[in-house]
Amino acid sequence: MSSIAQHLQQVQQQIARAAEKAGRDPASVRLLAVSKTFGPEAVLEAVQAGQRAFGENYLQEALDKMAAMPALAPGGALEWHFIGPIQSNKTRPIAEHFDWVHSVDRLKIAQRLSEQRPEELPPLDICLQVNISGEESKSGLTPQALPAVAVEVARLPRLRLRGLMAIPAPSEDQAAQRSAFAAVRRLFEQLRADGLALDTLSMGMSADLDAAIAEGASIVRIGSAIFGARHYA
């Protein structure tokens, strides 16, 4: 078994333990393998271990991997999620090549994705990113701005608003981690109470996975615990 396959197995076991501890079905939590900065060979190892959903932050790097994968893993239908900041001039290739976008943080970006999503593809699954910790360095809608934007995004054609994504401020304290994720969950529940058909909370990474699952995460975005330490150019 390759090291990536072993790490995937360990992460899946951790997800199952955290879900069971929270009284949840482990199948209610999806693992998104964040493959940014790792090449097609690393993705292929994960595919061979059964992983199908991959998260990417950098557009050109992701497109290069997508182009390489059919030759490396023929017949393996993969799901690609864009999870990085989105510039207006990058929306067309994102709309054309990805299945999900987790990092929509303003209405203009959603409108462009809607206009540019090809007719022959299924609607693009969307999460709105919330800046739950109020960090100036982070993208995301404020909790106050979220409801009005969510209503507008839900009306756009060629998109399907699925839920919320958040990256809280890092903390070693699990109580603080849970508090931030609980705040995201409350926003999610309020939007559902207001009539939006949401089903996805994209939250939790390698360092705060257990807290996110305890507070209702349905997609966890795990990179370094699967692929190892990242090497940025």
Q: For the chain, which residues score pLDDT lower than 50?
A: none
Six-digit token pair at 201?
Answer: 């909370």
What domains can be seen in the chain, in order of their start residue?
Answer: 3-227 (3.20.20.10)
β-bridge partners, 124: 159
Supply the DSSP string of 131-189, one letter for each residue: -TT--TTS--B-TTTHHHHHHHHHT-TTEEEEEEEE-PPP-S-HHHHHHHHHHHHHHHH
Convert the pLDDT of each residue in 171-200 to its tens digit: 999 999 999 999 999 999 999 999 999 999
Please report the pLDDT score of residue 2 as a whole number: 79
Please report the pLDDT score of residue 232 as a whole number: 67
Please report the pLDDT score of residue 135 as a whole number: 81
Q: For the chain, how far is it from start to end, CA to CA, in angstroms?
A: 29
- Tell me the residue length of the chain: 233
Query: How far apart are alpha carbons 138 and 141 in whole angstroms?
Result: 10
Query: How far apart are alpha carbons 138 and 220 in whole angstroms?
Result: 19
Query: How far apart are alpha carbons 181 and 203 in whole angstroms?
Result: 7
Please report the pLDDT score of residue 1 as a whole number: 76
Regarding beta strands 100-104 and 53-56, do their DSSP bridges make them parallel or antiparallel, or are they unpaired? unpaired
pTM above 0.75, yes or no: yes
